[in-house]
C-alpha cells in the first residue's frame, strides 16, 4: 500500500509538468508565442491597410484628374486645329496625350530652335504617328512661347 501511495504521489506531482508538455505538443502556444503571432498579424493588417489606402488615394486622384485631362486634350485639339489640322485628326492626336507618360517621352530640346525647326520636329512626330511625342513637343513649344511673350499689365507696366 505504501508503494501505491508513493506512485500516486509521484504521479500527482509530475502531472502538471506532463500536462504542460502534452499541451505544447498539441499546438497550444505559450504566451510568448501568442505575442509574436499577434505582432505578426498587426504588421500584416497595417501593411494591408496602407496598401488599400494608397490604392484608394490613387483612384481618387485619377477620378479627380479626369476633367482636367479632358480639358487639356480639348485645348490640344484646338491648338492642332490652329496649326491647320482637321478637327478629326486633331482629336485623334490630342487624345493620345497621357500626362503620366510625359516624363518618359524623350525628345531633343526646343531651346534655341527656330519655328521652322520646331515645325519639322512636329511634322516628323506626326508622320511617325508618335502622337504622344507630338503633343509633348507642342506643349513645350507653347510653354516656351508664352514664357518669352512680354508680360504687361492692362496699364502697360511690366
For cell 505559450, the residue is 30
Q: Helix 131-148 crosses helix 87-95 at what angle (to 10 degrees)? A: 100
- State pTM to two decimals: 0.53
pLDDT of residue 98: 86
How many Cβ atoms from other residues are within 10 Å of residue 126's Cβ? 19
pLDDT of residue 122: 93
pLDDT of residue 68: 85
Q: What is the pLDDT along the chain (158 residues), one digit of tens a residue?
A: 555 555 444 444 554 555 555 555 555 556 666 677 777 776 766 666 665 565 555 555 555 677 888 999 999 999 999 999 999 999 999 999 888 776 666 667 888 888 899 999 999 999 999 999 999 999 988 888 888 766 555 555 54
3-state secondary structure of 54: helix
How many Cβ atoms from other residues are within 10 Å of residue 97's Cβ? 21
pLDDT of residue 28: 53
What are the cell numbers at 146? 508664352
pLDDT of residue 22: 55
At residue 152's C-alpha, the angle toward residues 149 and 153, to 5°, is 145
Q: Return d(Cα 9, Cα 3) in angstroms, integer.
A: 10
Amino acid at each position: 500500500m505504501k508503494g501505491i501511495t508513493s506512485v500516486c504521489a509521484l504521479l500527482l506531482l509530475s502531472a502538471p509538468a506532463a500536462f504542460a508538455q502534452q499541451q505544447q505538443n498539441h499546438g497550444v502556444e505559450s504566451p510568448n508565442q501568442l505575442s509574436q503571432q499577434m505582432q505578426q498579424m498587426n504588421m500584416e493588417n497595417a501593411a494591408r491597410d496602407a496598401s488599400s489606402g494608397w490604392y484608394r488615394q490613387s483612384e481618387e486622384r485619377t477620378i479627380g484628374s479626369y476633367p482636367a485631362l479632358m480639358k487639356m486634350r480639348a485645348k490640344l485639339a484646338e491648338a492642332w486645329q490652329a496649326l491647320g489640322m482637321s478637327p478629326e485628326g486633331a482629336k485623334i492626336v490630342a487624345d493620345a496625350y497621357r500626362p503620366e507618360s510625359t516624363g518618359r517621352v524623350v525628345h531633343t530640346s526646343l531651346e534655341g530652335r527656330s519655328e521652322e525647326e520646331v515645325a519639322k520636329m512636329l511634322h516628323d512626330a506626326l508622320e511617325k504617328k508618335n502622337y504622344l511625342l507630338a503633343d509633348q513637343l507642342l506643349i513645350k513649344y507653347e510653354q516656351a512661347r508664352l514664357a518669352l511673350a512680354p508680360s504687361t499689365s492692362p496699364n502697360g507696366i511690366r
